Chain A
Amino acid sequence: MKKTTLLFSLFILFAQAGISQKPVKIDKNTFGQLKARSIGPAVMSGRIAALDAVNEDPRIFYVGSAGGGVWKTTNMGTTFKPVFEKEIQAIGAITIDQQHPDTVWVGTGEPWTRNSTSVGKGVYVTYDGGDNWKSRGLDSTERIARIVIDPQNPDIVYVAALGPLWSASPHRGLYKTEDGGKTWEKILFVDENTGCSGIAVDPENPGLVYAGMWDFRRTGWNFRSGGPGSSFYRSEDGGKTWTSIEKNLTPKPWGRVYVDFSPADPNVVYLLIEAKKTSFYQSIDKGKTWELMNNTSDVNERPFYFGFFVPDPVDTNRIYKPGFRLQMSEDGGKKFMSPSVTGGNFHSDVHGVWIAPNNNQLIYLSTDGGVYISVDQAKTWSFCRNLPVSQFYHVGVDNDKPYNVFGGLQDNGSWISPSKAAGGVTNASWKNLGWGDGFNVLRDPKNDNIMFWQWQGGNLRRLFLDTRENKDIMPYSEDGTKLRWNWNTPLVTGAKSKDLYTGSQFLYRSSDQGDTWKKLSPDLTTNDPEKQKQEQTGGLTIDNSTAENHCTIYTIGESPVDDNIIWVGTDDGNLQLTRDNGQTWENLIANVPGLPPATWVSYVEPSPYDEATAFVSFDGHTQGDMKPYVFKTTDFGKTWTNLATDNIKSYCNIIRQDLKNPDLLFLGTEAGLFISIDGGEQWARFTGNLPKVSVRDMVFQTRENDLVLATHGRGIYIIDDLTPLQNLKKEMLTENMVYLGSRPYRLGTMGAHQEFNGDDDFRGSNPPSALSINYYLKKRHIFGDMFIRVYDPEGKMIKKLPAGKRKGINRVDWRMMMKKPKVPSSVQLLGWAMAGPTYPPGDYTVKIIKNKDTIQGTVTVEYDDNPHHTPADRDERYKYLMKAYHMLEDLAFLDNQIIEIRDQSKTKADSTKGSLHKKLVALSDEMADLRLKIVATKEGRITGEERLREKIGNIYGGLLGYQGKPTKSQIDGLEELEGEMKTYRDQVDDAVQNIIPNLNKKLEKNGLKPLKLTDKKTFLEKESS
């Protein structure tokens, strides 16, 4: 019976192997261990929408980034860690339950409703200081302005939901929970256009609640702050009933309304109302009566962006009014001035202020450029240089070694950094290129000294890197036509021609670095006059910054196959194609099925494989349409297929087709990166170290085969070496194990580096300096052996490595180092000899062995390009390095023989007498003396003692650390030491050949066992050195 069971179970196992050929779904696990690498930057940081700190221990605070998630510090900003990695990264509000500081509420979706803002997805709470988060619903509110916890009952929480920015919605207003967020009641709702922008709860009497309501709307071409819904309410029963208040306040219509109690005196309430005359009020009777304190421009800086104030927690007359700068009043708001006289150096645009309730000297500030800390009441500021929440619009790369990464950021100009650097990519790696809001940055492919960069509204500069001089090369109108430039105007290098392109409503092309522009098109937009009233944008407070410029070209793509073929997409929903370098144009948009009218074309990607094929992503979010649209054509746009699938939960910013595998597609969405390996049939989110952040741009670095991502909230990420993704075909997914290959491993050095910058500096990681072994596993390996063997070009097995065992793609990195040399034993470690040499170039075979299955492949190892070393130099270096390596091992063997002779002859001497005793003692003494010349033997950490071992070790270390030609001194030095070693070797050989055999005979005569020495082979093979 037992036998039957066994057979049956074996049968089942085999049967399972047989029936497993059904299609495997592509999901996030398909990509397995593949990870993106963050290189920051944190040097300019990014927009911070909210922050809150623990009153009793202000060293602990949370930072809510507009697009980069929640970050927590426990050491007052020396270090931060991201704590919201699984959720949407757009943050609007953070509130700590001060009675239980591990309870923190986060409202997603920022309330500072600029054109480039992202979207949120409801409310979250953690009860363990950020380790775990629970969704608490309100998913459709899109953006949350403020969260207030009832001062007496932490289960009661108010959420001020602004609601959707781009459409009417019932999901806005003031929400309240009485059960910690399990259920919500919308306790104040005005209409579908009006959200809640301010909420204040009386700290003494939590039934008294004030709410500010804001009627607002943004479109692609207009922003409106203010309308009939804007209003101000009072409730005395915790929000059950409300009274509208407007008597004696500035005349309606109003815009954004904000209200707060003074933490210093709960009788004092402040109120800010955006209106024709934006007004700031103070009440000293809990809001029964209001006194106008100020209606100057001091309280009316961009209300949609800075519509709040912060009362001092100690001094009721001290109020902070954030704006472009931070203003402060010492008389309850009558007059405002800067709190700094000599200091005050922080990024403009303030969105959050936290003041320690027990010490109003300590202030945290959040801005468009990160977080600042003041310990002298806002006079001077230190910058938290470790929050990589930078908001890129675009990214580019060049072909330097290592290649550089560059791009422009929201309100933070344009920057460049090497993609890797000795010690990691740090703040010091990033250099500024241009000012303003930054967008596209390009390196001229024809002249290394030239870069191009932009600021908002199409402004374009040519930068000479050597002299840092900038030339204005923006195209101007030659016939008086007003040119319309998008906030985020396209600027691209032609994939085939390497010409420069930009676009207003017209397309421009230049082949002389912008000195002359050829107008290649008529107006390619709808030219709808209703969408061109930017001089009226802003609503109550005019705000025409080019952010609403519309009916403009937004994306340009020259075919990599034929540079007469150019695809253009506009923000007002035109998709245009020329096949004759601009002589004729065809608007293809009517051919795109199921696309709502006027949907913004976010990216055109002409296929590098075929001139008739292109991919286009569309983004409807500025019409309130958050759905993904990704289309493909193979017939010059006559017909289109929608590639978007239901699991893509957000609108799409960019689609790229891989340069080596046409079925490999990368889709940048507002909520992370999606990848398809089957030409867009299935998509899965890439979760390898990349949160649900807005991916705005992507570029391939062809030489390194990398993908570089621009995120709008988490800076730049690099997926190093796309080879495994490029080689993973859909039909392979059903196989148990597939070798995927890797780019050649290039032997070189990252260089040396020393710095002691403290712990508050950002440090991005480098790509691994290692040979990568990539393979796919259908299922996680659990039972039996799984490991990797590496064979050198001659077929000799040189390394056994642990394997990666995850489902999906596994990446095992091996630094290709030989085992470290065996060295003579000593209490002093020989630091240089802790590493073996790297194996030389060649084709190495790797075998991945999983129980009885083996797959194999080849990895090519090459010298990297180093301008200072010829291959012959490097071969010579390898030769002498190996010589030093073997000398260390020879010396180790010599040392071992000396010890064996010394100790054994001493032991034998104790059992003998007479001349034999004397000879043994003499031999032991001789060896003891000899050993002192070979090895440092003093105890203690820094003895400075140097013997032969240390001298060879130094030359070995020198050779190991440099990739090129050895010095003559190193070569001669080795020879000299070789000679010295030979003297000792001869001395030992003499003992072994001439003295010991005689002694052994005599020992045996005396009935004693002879001296027995380990041979070299056994010694060197002995496990571990």
Chain B
Amino acid sequence: MKKLIYLFVGMLFSFTLSAQDLSLDEILNNYYEIMGLDKLAKVKGIEIKGKSFNQGMEYDFTMISVPPGRYRLEVPIQGQTMVQVYDQGEAWVIAPWTGTLAPKDITGDQLKQMEKQADITGELYNWKEKGSKVELLGKEDMEGSDVYKIKLTDKNGDETIYYIDAENFVILKTENTITMRGEPVKTESSISDYKPVEEGIIMAYSHTDSYNGQVVNTLTIDTVILNPEVDLSIFEKPEVPAADSTQQQK
């Protein structure tokens, strides 16, 4: 671990020297390099465990991603588990408190969000192959940090603004306007606690989301496992309502 931190510090230093006005490609390449995205792109899967802090409530979550395009999110609540799965274009959810254990299909804007979520390297990486457009809007002060402001327009035409730290080349904040039931909602995610996962890969362990300026949720990561053993059947939608073990009768 100590060695990792040294490497990490070394990487930071090499970037600090080059912190001046750069081209879009230079900025993105620096970002890919410090995050280790080339390396991350090669992992077979990733398992993340953490907590979600939501208006005074706290939930644990486990997310297992298997690229390309699969992930499963589990949130245990009162002895039951909410399950959300994205599987290469399709998605479903089991929300036990809705009174049923049957999976419900997810469509529309939420499905689009989930597709992005399934992309573990993030949408800036290899943006061209993903059918997106990227534009450097300039360098500015963002809450006291010098940042590069980059706009990504994805293949659906949805725009995300990325604020990339001009000193360290990590993302400090993203901004989106998402449509929730026909209504545009400004969302913002502040990103921090970057830490090495293993040699050459760093990840952000903290994300704080705001809607229309109000903080709604903070996600913190406790553990990250690269290349975990995953049985792909966990992404399959149960044909029938999942058996409720608590309901087994004689």
Contact = CB atoms under 8 A, between A and B. Distances in A.
Interface of A: 5-6, 8-10, 12-13, 27, 29, 32, 131, 689, 770, 779-787, 801-802, 805-808, 814-815, 817, 819-820, 822-830, 833-835, 892, 899, 902-903, 906, 921, 924-925, 928, 931, 935, 937, 939-941, 943, 1023-1025
A1025 B79 contact: yes
A827 B96 CA distance: 6
A815 to B, nearest CB: 4
Interface string B155-176: 0000000000100101010000
A782 B170 contact: yes
B108 interface: no
Contacts of A786: 192-193, 206
A834 B57 contact: yes
A707 B76 CA distance: 43
A815 B59 contact: no
A1014 B76 CA distance: 18
Contacts of A6: 6, 9-10
Which 7 A-B pairs rank lowest in CB-CB distance, beginning with the nearest? A825-B79, A807-B144, A29-B144, A9-B13, A815-B56, A941-B99, A829-B97
Given A5-B10, A783-B193, A805-B193, 18 more contacts: A6-B9, A9-B10, A12-B13, A29-B143, A782-B172, A786-B206, A805-B190, A806-B143, A823-B78, A824-B79, A825-B78, A826-B246, A828-B97, A830-B78, A925-B250, A928-B248, A935-B246, A937-B247
B220 interface: yes
A735 to B, nearest CB: 15
Given A783-B12, A827-B99, A899-B245, A802 B53 contact: yes
Given A780-B145, A784-B193, A801-B53, A903 B248 contact: yes
Contacts of A829: 77-78, 96-97
Contacts of A928: 248-250
A819 B53 CA distance: 12
Which of the listed residues A781, A802, A826 has the most CB atoms from chain B within 10 Å of its own CB?
A: A802
B59 A1024 contact: yes
A617 B143 CA distance: 30
26 contacts: A5-B13, A6-B9, A8-B13, A12-B13, A782-B168, A782-B192, A784-B193, A784-B194, A802-B206, A805-B190, A807-B143, A807-B144, A817-B56, A822-B78, A822-B79, A823-B78, A825-B79, A826-B78, A826-B80, A827-B244, A829-B96, A903-B248, A928-B250, A940-B100, A1023-B76, A1025-B79
B98 A802 contact: no
B33 to A, nearest CB: 15
Contacts of A10: 6, 9
A9 B13 CA distance: 6
B76 to A, nearest CB: 5
Contacts of A787: 220
B60 interface: yes
B205 interface: yes
Interface of B: 6, 8-10, 12-13, 16, 53, 56-60, 76-80, 96-101, 141, 143-145, 165, 168, 170, 172, 177, 190, 192-195, 205-206, 208, 213, 218, 220, 244-250
B78 A833 contact: yes
Contacts of B59: 1024
Which of the listed residues B57, B78, B80, B145 has the most CB atoms from chain A within 10 Å of its own CB?
A: B78
A163 to B, nearest CB: 33
Q: Interface majority SS on A: helix, strand, loop or mixed?
A: loop
Contacts of B76: 1023-1025
A901 to B, nearest CB: 12
Contacts of B143: 29, 32, 780, 806-808
Contacts of A27: 144
Nearest to B168: A782
Q: Interface majority SS on B: helix, strand, loop or mixed?
A: mixed
A995 B170 CA distance: 61
A300 B143 CA distance: 52
A921 B249 CA distance: 11
Contact of A784 (B77, B170, B195, B247): B195
A1024 B246 contact: no
Contacts of A779: 144-145
Contacts of B16: 12
Contacts of B205: 785
Given A802-B208, A807-B144, A825 B80 contact: yes
Contacts of A903: 245, 248
Given A6-B9, A780-B144, A828-B99, A892 B79 contact: yes
B122 to A, nearest CB: 17
A819 B99 contact: no
B189 to A, nearest CB: 13
A935 B57 CA distance: 24
Contacts of A924: 250
Contacts of B192: 780-782, 786, 805
Contact of B79 (A29, A783, A826): A826
Contacts of A899: 245-246
Nearest to A30: B144
A801 B12 CA distance: 27
Contact of B193 (A32, A785, A808, A939): A785
A148 B60 CA distance: 57
Contacts of B101: 827, 939
Contacts of B96: 827, 829
Contact of A1023 (B60, B172, B218): B60
A1020 to B, nearest CB: 13
Which of the listed residues B98, B195, B246 has the most CB atoms from chain A within 10 Å of its own CB?
A: B246
Contact of A827 (B13, B80, B165): B80
A823 B195 CA distance: 36
Nearest to A780: B145
A782 B194 contact: yes
Which of the listed residues A779, A785, A824, A925 has the most CB atoms from chain B within 10 Å of its own CB?
A: A785
A806 B208 CA distance: 11
A830 B12 CA distance: 49
Contacts of A822: 78-79
Contacts of B193: 781, 783-786, 805
B100 A939 contact: yes
Contacts of A806: 143-144, 190
A242 B141 CA distance: 47
A814 B194 CA distance: 24
A928 B208 CA distance: 44
A262 to B, nearest CB: 37
A9 B88 CA distance: 43
A826 B10 CA distance: 52
Contacts of B13: 5, 8-9, 12-13
B49 to A, nearest CB: 9
Contacts of B194: 782-784
A899 B80 CA distance: 14
A420 B145 CA distance: 35
A902 B244 CA distance: 14
A9 B208 CA distance: 30
A1024 B60 contact: yes
B102 to A, nearest CB: 10
A5 B11 CA distance: 10
Nearest to B186: A131
A940 B190 contact: no
A780 B172 contact: yes
Nearest to A29: B144
B248 A906 contact: yes
Contacts of A823: 78-79
A9 B17 CA distance: 11
A814 B56 contact: yes
A38 B134 CA distance: 37
A825 B246 CA distance: 8
A801 B58 CA distance: 10
Nearest to A27: B144
A941 B165 CA distance: 48
A931 B246 CA distance: 9
A931 B250 CA distance: 12
